[in-house]
Amino acid sequence: MMKFWFVVVLLLAGFSFAYVTPMPDFKDKRDGRVYKTVQIGDQRWFAENLRFNIKGSWCYDKKDYNCERYGRLYDWAMAMRMSDYYNSHSIKKFDFSKLKPGQYHDACPVGWHVPTNKDWYKLRYFVGKKGISDGVGISLKSSELWERELRIPAGSDEFGFNAIPAGVKQPYSGFMDLGRTTQFWSSTEIDDGGAFYWNLMYDSRTMEKVYTGKDDGVSVRCVEDKLYEVKEPPPPPRKVIPQVVKVQNKELRTVHIGDQIWMVDNLNVNVPGSFCYEYKEENCEKFGRLYPWTVAMKLNEKFSRTVARDSVMKRKPRGICPNGWHVPTVFDFQNLIAYLKDIDDAVGAGTNLRAREGWQESDDVLLGEDGFGFTGLAAGFRDSAGVFAGRELFAGFWSGTEGDSLQALAWTLPYDNDDFVMDSASKDKAYSVRCLMDPPDEDELYDSTSLTDSRDGNRYRTVAVGEDVWMSENLRFAALGSYCYEDKDNRCRNYGRLYPWHVAMRLPEDFIENSLDSTSFDAVALEHQGVCPDGWHIPRREEWLRLGEYAVSLRKGLGAALKSRDGWAQGGEPVNNASGFNAIPAGSRYIDGEYAELGSSAYFWAAEGGAGMGAVYWNLINSKDDFTTAEDFEHSAFSLRCVKNKTVKTN
């Protein structure tokens, strides 16, 4: 009966579609062309590229039929209906006050406009939260005309946006990438010669903002000036409830983000040399105090003009943080950002960290999402001359990492940037301090049931599931031929290594293709150790089934009971880790070296393969409450869990 239940899950998984609101076609009175339109969130978009003929604009390869199919290509000045002069000069210098009402309009029809960065962010946010495809780019791309990359799913166009691969015209290279890429102008410029466009590529799942020269020729999509009621809104913003802990007889609010524990509030410890914004005590109560770097690090003031020696600086610099906490290093901030990007690519790290209130609104980015409870406040700063600035516009957080004799590294949240930005700042500037809890000692993480791998000293937590004892962490043993996600060591520490099946099994690389007789099964032992530690083996089908049956018996959802509480992208199915298996979404590596699905999928090898059968794996997906099995013939690299042997082997 249980085996049939797994099959039913597989059959039902595909019957889900994003909600698309039909909208009437729009007729451009300037040339009589008619465009399909679609409502996505509270915005109404053209579902076709603009074809309005502005002098100097291009059809791909100078062929009119390409304009009819793909729309026209415009440089930025054309898209903004400005003279070529503004491809090399900022539009901010243009005095719009001298124009009569209605005298100026960009390339879109009246009532519509070339999207700002904020318009694009809103689109990406809604699609990222509501879409069922594996990536915003997949959700927006048309199902036709795109060149296929086998490792990337075809476009689903689930929102009716119909992004087609119109290519680009570059000043020196000419026309290129038809069928492989499309770019859409933003009306947001960055400087005299550059502006932003938003990019979709045939071999990517994402939609990214790109800075480029204004003289590139790319597509234009128009968005209506008015907003509409959202018929089916995305899930409400994630609410994170801080945990209150007592530190040195003082209650502090904390929040767990990935494997880090941060203070929710900026530090407000009154030490000599620190400041309240504009010297007002109420600002300290609300925003915390502002500290020069040497004060934050509890160093002699002389180190604001000279390099702090290694004996002064520490791997976990405590500074003015309480016992058990430290001023975050650059690596701590980088791990925070990596985690945010792993599990929520719908908005940037800066948007996820900014508080939802207290920030000035920008035309370039969304308002703060505070998706993980960090609650970054626009506390401002005090500059080297003693001037306070940046309230409602800026937050800066010192790191414990020095730049040089005069500067240290800080991480900043500007009101008009979607990112969390590393910057060098003069040590005598006064920024905020957020304290990070020291990571636990090994004895706190691992108890008497843990496993220590004698080969490399790695320790693993374990969990008993019925008659089986499983590792509840992914294997990190550095077997030859295994990988860290994106070739970054910290990914191996957090997610375990990724192994091709033959590496995991310690079998020949061509075992799947060339072991076609039944005797090949003899190479796969009953308790096949592979690269597992001594006394442990790679799980077989019956052990995976027992794990799934146990998860079902908990009545808290099959996938939910197996998935870890942290690490899965927002907007997916609920997770609870009721089984203790702690499946973390470590993604995969394809045979061509492409990494994918970190934060959205977990794949685990089984000790089955050969004799005409592909390598068997089990997987969990963010958007489904399933636990399914399939075969792989292409030498992908997946995660590995080991099970404790039941039989005692003797020499």
Q: Check residue 12 and give its pLDDT.
A: 29
Q: Cβ neighbours of residue 156 under 8 Å, at least 6 residues apart?
A: 132, 133, 138, 139, 141, 143
CB hemisphere CA count around 387 (13 angstroms): 3
Q: Check residue 233 and give its pLDDT.
A: 63
d(CA 325, CA 310): 20
Give the predicted TM-score (pTM) of the model: 0.76
Extract the residue ranges of the chain whose pLDDT is less than 70: 1-19, 102, 232-238, 309-315, 442-445, 515-522, 648-651
Q: Are 222 and 48 in contact (CB under 8 A)?
A: no
Of 258, 214, 523, 462, nearest to 373 by C-alpha is 258
Count of residues in the chain: 651
Of 619, 605, 588, nearest to 507 by C-alpha is 605
Q: Are 295 and 382 in contact (CB under 8 A)?
A: no
Q: Check residue 440 and give its pLDDT.
A: 77
∠ CA 422-427-430, nearest 5°, is: 85
User: 464-491: string of b/e by CB count within 10 Å (b at 16+)?
Assistant: ebeebbbbbbbbbbebeebbbbeeeeeb
d(CA 360, CA 38): 30
Of 247, 245, 246, nearest to 255 by C-alpha is 245
Q: Are 61 and 73 in contact (CB under 8 A)?
A: no
Of 610, 607, 582, nearest to 511 by C-alpha is 610
CA 217 to chain centre: 29
The two tokens of residue 493 are: 């520490």
Q: Specify the 3-state DSSP secondary structure of 559.
A: helix
Phi and psi at residue 437, to the nearest 5°: -65, 140
Q: Check residue 149 and give its pLDDT.
A: 84
Q: Cβ neighbours of residue 570 under 8 Å, at least 6 residues apart?
A: 129, 238, 343, 344, 346, 371
CB hemisphere CA count around 539 (13 angstroms): 25
Q: Are 243 and 198 in contact (CB under 8 A)?
A: no
CA 73 to chain centre: 30
Q: Cβ neighbours of residue 364 under 8 Å, at least 6 residues apart?
A: 116, 117, 118, 188, 416, 417, 418
Q: Check residue 133 and give its pLDDT.
A: 82
Tokens 């927002």 -> residue? 570
To the nearest 10 degrees (0 to 180), the angle between helices 2-12 and 541-553 is: 80
Q: Check residue 182 and give its pLDDT.
A: 97
User: pLDDT for 524-564, tens place per residue?
Assistant: 888 999 999 999 999 999 999 999 999 999 999 999 999 99
Looking at residue 101, what DSSP letter applies? Answer: T
Of 144, 139, 181, nearest to 156 by C-alpha is 139
Q: Check residue 471 and give its pLDDT.
A: 96
User: pLDDT for 166-199, tens place per residue?
Assistant: 999 999 889 999 999 999 999 999 899 999 999 9
Q: Are 108 and 135 in contact (CB under 8 A)?
A: no
CB hemisphere CA count around 248 (13 angstroms): 6
* Element counts in the chain: helices (H) and strands (E): 15, 37
